[in-house]
Amino acid sequence: MQTTMELLGKALDVKRSSRWCEELDLDISTLSQAKKRGRLSPTLAGNLAIELGESPEHWIAIAAIEAEKETPLLQRLKKSQPSWRKR
């Protein structure tokens, strides 16, 4: 998995959206809003990762990168991803 939307997809394969919202004490619209934005917040990504047995630190980092505006500094970081991003 490479994006937080893939993490969300994996979560939704396990449980329905309403069940995740109930378990994580989220507003019912939280996951639908994340889908519309095309990304998860770092906090939500980390918590879903914990529930799915994934590394929360990894997913928090991915979510943080997805939330950043495109800048030369972000491009530099993305170029180094193959050395640290899970495959």
Domains identified in the chain, total number:
1
pTM of the model: 0.83
The residue assigned the tokens 């997913």 is 59
Q: What is the domain extent for residue 50?
A: 4-83
Tens of pLDDT along 56-81?
999 999 999 999 888 888 888 778 76
Label each residue of 5-51 as H, E or C.
HHHHHHHHHHCCHHHHHHHCCCCCCHHHHHHHHCCCCHHHHHHHHHH
pLDDT in tens, 16-54: 999 999 999 999 999 999 999 999 999 999 999 999 999
Cα 18 to chain centroid, rounded: 18
For residue 45, report the phi and psi dihedrals to the nearest 5 degrees.
Answer: -60, -45
Positive or negative, the CA dihedral 62, 66, 67, 72 is positive
